[in-house]
Amino acid sequence: MTFIVLDTDVASTSIRNRLSDRLRARLAGQTACITFVTLGELTKWTAIRDWGPRRLSDLDRWQAGVIVLPYDRAVCKTWGLVQARAQRRGRPRPVNDTWIAACCLVNDVPLATFNIKDFSDFAEHEGLRLFDVG
């Protein structure tokens, strides 16, 4: 089984059934994962946008088909080290992006994101593997 972490942007696009045919084909056969951060961000969006019961049910169905990577001590320590190294390089990274990267790094799972620039520093300096969504 091959795992792939969907960044929040890719997860959101998937939930709305708007993935390109090419990306859908590339993800076929992969086991989709999201991080605890993405679950939180998606939940926040539903509350801000005041989703109704039908859309919330659609989201619950979608979430039932993905694995949620939790935080643990290894993820927390990795987050701290990655944040510190980025800050020392003069490239402090957004908190949520760092949590997502830490989950991917600890679990050795590539990240599918439309925001390559947000994660390229992690790829270059930390070994984060990015999945080609293009």
Could you tell me if 113 and 9 are in contact, meaning their C-beta atoms sit under 8 angstroms apart?
yes
Residue range 39-43: mean pLDDT, rounded: 95
CA pair distance 23, 8, nearest whole angstrom: 15
- Exposure on the CB side of residue 81, measured as CA atoms within 13 A: 13
Q: Does 24 score more than 80 pLDDT?
A: yes
Q: Does 1 score more than 90 pLDDT?
A: no
- The structure's pTM equals 0.94
Structure-token match 């990306």, residue found:
23
pLDDT band at 49 (very low <50, low <70, confident <90, very high): very high
What was the pLDDT predicted at 121? 96
User: Which burial class, exposed, middle or buried, applies to 54 when counting CB atoms under 10 A from its CB (0-12, 13-18, 19+)?
Assistant: exposed
Q: Tell me the average pLDDT of the chain.
A: 95
CB neighbour list of residue 76: distance below 8 Å, 6 or more residues apart: 102
Q: What is the pLDDT of residues 76-126, one digit of tens each?
A: 999 999 999 999 999 999 999 999 999 999 999 999 999 999 999 999 999
Q: Provide CATH code, domain 2-131.
A: 3.40.50.1010
